[in-house]
Amino acid sequence: MTTDTLTDFQLGDIPDLSDVQDTVSSPFSDGWYEATILAKREFTDQQGNERVFESGDEPAQRSGRNIRLQMAIKRQSDGKALNTSYLLNYQPEDLTAETVKAVLAHKEKVKEGEQWGPLFRSFMTLQRLGKLQKIAGIRQFQRNGNGGLDLHTVYGKTAYVKLVDDDRNPKYKMIKDISADRPKQVL
């Protein structure tokens, strides 16, 4: 086409293009997302089976106890939802006054260069439970009468979760960290 032909060509009204969209949404990236902690999640799977996943604190299969929290994650950019769970394993002895006192005392030694050693697992557990208490807005969890913690105070609360590739299957995401405080960038 020459420039003469272009000037002679008349464009009609441009039609509404809002229905021409990419229908495939992008997968969740690694990063921080806003989530709601649910008491339970109910849905129908692809085979038509009713599925129910409940939050709670139950005995672990091998040792200790498992806190499993059902999470409804919503991406800020497009509102896409992702449902997953957060798992925290702990030993009941981590919650004794003696263990807490030992962890706090050793924390000061670690600041001076000493290694955590056998208290590291207890430290990580107490740190994670402390984050859950902050999300719940309480000073301490109560017992549930079943040997575990009563988690009703966290249900319905907003938390921020850090998603990363699941180390067992990179097609899926897992929660690596959880926080009551909003990170600088929430996806």
pLDDT in tens, 96-107: 999 999 999 999
- Is pLDDT larger for residue 15 or for residue 186? 186
Tell whether the model's pLDDT for residue 56 goes beyond 90.
yes
Nearest to 176 by CA among 160, 155, 158, 187: 160
The fraction of the chain above a pLDDT of 90, given in percent, is 75
Tell whether the model's pLDDT for residue 21 goes beyond 80.
no
Measured distance CA(166)–CA(30) in Å, rounded: 10
Tell whether the model's pLDDT for residue 174 goes beyond 90.
yes
- pLDDT at site 139: 93
- Is pLDDT larger for residue 5 or for residue 157? 157
Number of residues in the chain: 187
- pLDDT at site 11: 66
pLDDT band at 27, cuts 50/70/90? Answer: confident
Tell whether the model's pLDDT for residue 3 goes beyond 60.
no
Q: pTM of the prediction?
A: 0.81
The winner for highest mean pLDDT among 12-21, 22-31, 73-82 is 73-82
Tell whether the model's pLDDT for residue 10 goes beyond 70.
no
pLDDT band at 26, cuts 50/70/90? Answer: confident
DSSP string, 16-53: P-TT----SPPPPPSEEEEEEEESEEEEE-TTS-EEEE
DSSP state, residue 149: B
Q: Which residues lie below 8 Å from residue 70, measured CB to CB, with a gap of 6+?
A: 37, 38, 39, 40, 41, 53, 54, 55, 83, 85
**Average pLDDT over the chain, rounded to an integer:** 90
Tell whether the model's pLDDT for residue 171 goes beyond 80.
yes
